[in-house]
């Protein structure tokens, strides 16, 4: 698939002496894993090139992955920028991106903004890391793939696919994950980092379970306002994580976390679903993303309630016209 584009990307990389790798704001395991893994491969394969990874935005839970140096602005001049896992230019974490000479986009979101000079977009992939793994396998004789790089790539594959459970996971996903394991992924340490949590997280979960709201048709939702954030000493990111605590209620095929963004004066919306898509709702509320995992923004409690009502209507229609859902 897209063999020609992958070859074009490798050849482009080989012609540049400075390459900057970048990802999306609020990076998740896939954004961090794909960019860290890809950067490591470029550094190991081309020690004579200057390879940077931009690192303006962080996620606490991934701090074990380590940080990066800040990229000097002048480095962009004449450089090749490789942006991974980032659907639109507004979501690129480094806003110096336009200063690069050329841009390569590598992404698995539904195409909405082909901002690259080369765009390699495969929205059927369960993660951007799956694409990087595919790149590794395709060019295994030309790239140096260390256990560290493979571990980062594997991390993105397991996190973005919900440990290989979500829509988009295929036999190919597993074969590519297997290919990464063959490079000696340190999964014991990786999973220890991913699965252990501070005790305060458990106290928050207890609050969330007590305050989940359910609509008539079974949309599970919660609003984490500034008071709750203060009560538990939460960063916006930590507050946003509560979406995963809503995911296991039988009959709740849609679940939504609303998180007050005190700094921006709006409310971050994280929508998730199984069996039916919620991307259209996200689009109606200034957002987008994947069919069953999308993000949006609302600007008032009233708008939040409208969003919940829209989701409830959608779920009601789905349930009345489908069978076999749990």
Alpha-carbon span 291 to 305, nearest angstrom = 21
Locate 140 and state its tokens: 């295994």
The minimum distance between CB 294 and ligand AMP, in angstroms, equals 5
Nearer to ligand AMP, 73 or 123 (CB): 123
Cα dist from 124 to 166, 168, 172, 281, whole Å: 12, 6, 11, 20
Grouping H, G, I as helix, E, B as strand and the rest as coil, residue 151 is: helix
The minimum distance between CB 50 and ligand AMP, in angstroms, equals 28
Nearer to ligand AMP, 80 or 256 (CB): 256
Nearer to ligand AMP, 33 or 295 (CB): 295
Question: In DSSP terms, which residues pair with 297 in a beta bridge?
Answer: 268
Nearer to ligand AMP, 156 or 295 (CB): 295
Nearer to ligand AMP, 39 or 240 (CB): 240
The minimum distance between CB 187 and ligand AMP, in angstroms, equals 24
Alpha-carbon span 102 to 55, nearest angstrom = 19
Q: Measured at CB, which residue is nearest to ligand AMP? A: 289
**Residue 46 exposure: Cα atoms within 13 Å on the Cβ side:** 17
The minimum distance between CB 284 and ligand AMP, in angstroms, equals 12
CB-neighbour burial class of residue 300 (10 A; exposed 0-12, middle 13-18, buried 19+): exposed
Alpha-carbon span 289 to 310, nearest angstrom = 17
Site residues (CB under 6 A) for ligand AMP?
24, 87, 109, 270, 287-290, 293-295
The minimum distance between CB 252 and ligand AMP, in angstroms, equals 17
């Amino acid at each position: 698939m897209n063999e020609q584009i992958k070859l074009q990307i490798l050849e482009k990389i080989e012609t540049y002496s400075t390459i900057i790798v970048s990802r999306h704001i609020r990076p998740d395991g896939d954004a961090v894993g794909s960019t860290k893994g890809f950067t490591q491969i470029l550094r190991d394969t081309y020690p004579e090139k200057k390879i940077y990874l931009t690192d303006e935005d962080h996620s606490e839970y991934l701090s074990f992955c380590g940080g990066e140096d800040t990229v000097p602005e002048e480095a962009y001049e004449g450089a090749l920028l490789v942006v991974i896992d980032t659907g639109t230019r507004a979501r690129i974490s480094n806003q110096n991106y336009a200063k690069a000479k050329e841009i390569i986009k590598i992404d698995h979101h539904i195409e909405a903004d082909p901002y690259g000079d080369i765009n390699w977009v495969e929205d059927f992939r369960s993660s951007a890391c799956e694409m990087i793994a595919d790149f590794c396998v395709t060019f295994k004789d030309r790239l140096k793939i260390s256990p560290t790089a493979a571990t980062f790539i594997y991390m993105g594959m397991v996190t973005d696919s919900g440990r290989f459970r979500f829509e988009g996971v295929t036999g190919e996903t597993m074969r590519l994950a297997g290919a990464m394991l063959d490079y000696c992924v340190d999964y014991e340490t990786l999973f220890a980092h991913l699965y252990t949590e501070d005790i305060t997280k458990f106290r928050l979960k207890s609050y969330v379970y007590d305050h989940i709201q359910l609509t008539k048709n079974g949309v599970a939702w919660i609003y984490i306002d500034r008071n709750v954030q203060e009560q538990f000493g939460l960063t916006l990111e930590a507050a946003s994580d509560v979406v995963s605590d809503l995911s296991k209620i039988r009959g709740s095929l849609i679940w939504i976390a609303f998180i007050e963004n005190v700094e921006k004066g709006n409310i971050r919306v994280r929508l998730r679903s199984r069996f039916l898509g919620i991307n259209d709702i996200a689009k109606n509320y200034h957002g987008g993303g994947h069919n069953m995992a999308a993000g949006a923004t609302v600007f008032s409690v009233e708008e939040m309630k409208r969003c919940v009502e829209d989701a409830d209507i959608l779920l009601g229609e789905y349930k009345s016209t489908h069978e076999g859902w749990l």
